[in-house]
């Protein structure tokens, strides 16, 4: 109980520290491969931010990973951005091919986003390959995105479709760490057109990421400063949305 009390206090302190502009969901910069001991992993983070479309917002996100073998795993996640009125769920299956100095992962993901303020639902299907080395990670894949607008007004139905499916969208991401991936602490750079709950057509995310091992070896702290054009549904925005996300990872 004492450990979870410390975890709760740390999350409160980190949330209080994020007073700068900020945005969406965290991508953990450490190793994704099964360590041979801990079959269960849980992630949780807080986010506070603002953009030109929705103004200030804050929220939380969490995910759980189960490693069935050294190669197969499954992850389920959720997020809720309260002032932004964005709510999400996702499920990902992963297969890993180990190499001597790296790992190659294949992911299949399905996600749903609810943009409550605009009464729009988004269905996302993504398939990607992810290559992870000691210092570099690279992702390449494809996404299929479908939007559905509920309760379209009668006067708009003649020229407004209630549903829209985007052409297949490429998924590209690159991350670079300054220290070996399993070092007790690490700092890195990234550039990509996706986050856990969205995949963009044109918008590029870029920023800094950090993770470190806490005094308990099965718990890590991680953070990400993320910058992208404002709003998932505003691809021509001229101002940027920024995010500082801070969270904890616990494995058992």
Token pair belonging to 104: 């190659």
Task: Classify the phi-psi angles of 150: left when phi > 0, otherwise alpha if psi is within -120 to 50, otherwise beta.
Answer: beta
The domain total for the chain is 1
Q: What is the pLDDT of residues 85-118, one digit of tens each?
A: 889 999 999 999 999 889 999 999 999 999 887 7
Cα→Cα distances 218→42, 132, 213, 249, 251, Å = 11, 21, 8, 8, 5
Going by their DSSP bridges, the two strands 55-67 and 102-115 should be labelled as unpaired
- Any idea which residue has 């500082």 for tokens? 244
Contacts (Cβ under 8 Å, ≥6 apart) of 167: none
What length does the chain have?
A: 252
Residue 168 DSSP class? P
pLDDT of residue 160: 58
Please say if the pLDDT value at position 9 is more than 90.
no
pTM of the model: 0.79
125: β partners: 110, 144
Average pLDDT, the chain: 80
What's the rounded mean pLDDT across residues 5-21?
37
Please say if the pLDDT value at position 159 is more than 80.
no
92: β partners: 75, 109
- Quote the CA–CA distance of 212 and 15 in Å, as a whole number: 17
Q: What CATH number should be reported for the domain holding residue 22?
A: 2.40.160.40
Please say whether the beta carbons of 169 and 199 come within 8 A: yes
Token pair belonging to 125: 């299907």
Cα→Cα distances 77→80, 160, 206, Å = 11, 32, 22
Q: What is the pLDDT of residues 182-230, one digit of tens each?
A: 899 999 999 998 877 777 766 778 899 999 999 876 899 999 988 876 5
Q: How buried is 168 (Cβ within 10 angstroms: 0-12 exposed, 13-18 middle, 19+ buried)?
A: exposed
Q: Which domain holds residue 240?
A: 2-251
């Amino acid at each position: 109980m004492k450990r979870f009390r410390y975890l709760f206090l740390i999350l409160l302190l980190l949330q209080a520290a994020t007073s700068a502009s900020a945005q969406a969901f965290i991508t953990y910069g450490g190793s994704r491969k099964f360590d041979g001991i801990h079959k269960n992993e849980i992630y949780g983070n807080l986010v506070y931010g603002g953009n030109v479309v929705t103004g200030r917002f804050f929220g939380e996100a969490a995910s759980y990973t189960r490693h069935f073998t050294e190669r197969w795993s499954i992850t389920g996640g959720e997020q809720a951005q309260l002032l932004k009125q964005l709510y999400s769920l996702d499920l990902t299956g992963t297969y890993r091919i180990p190499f001597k100095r790296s790992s190659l992962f294949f992911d299949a993901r399905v996600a749903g986003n609810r943009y409550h303020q605009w009464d729009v639902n988004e269905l996302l299907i993504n398939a990607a390959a992810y290559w992870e080395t000691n210092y570099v990670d690279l992702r390449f894949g494809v996404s299929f995105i479908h939007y559905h607008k509920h309760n379209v007004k009668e006067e708009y139905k003649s020229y407004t479709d209630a549903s829209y499916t985007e052409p297949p969208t490429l998924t590209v991401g690159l991350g670079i760490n300054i220290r070996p991936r399993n070092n007790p602490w690490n700092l890195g750079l990234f550039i990509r057109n996706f986050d856990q709950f969205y995949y963009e057509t044109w918008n590029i995310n870029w920023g800094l990421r950090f993770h470190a091992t806490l005094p308990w070896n099965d718990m890590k702290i991680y953070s990400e400063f993320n910058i992208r054009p404002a709003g998932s549904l505003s691809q021509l925005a001229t101002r940027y949305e920024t995010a500082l996300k801070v969270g904890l990872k616990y494995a058992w």
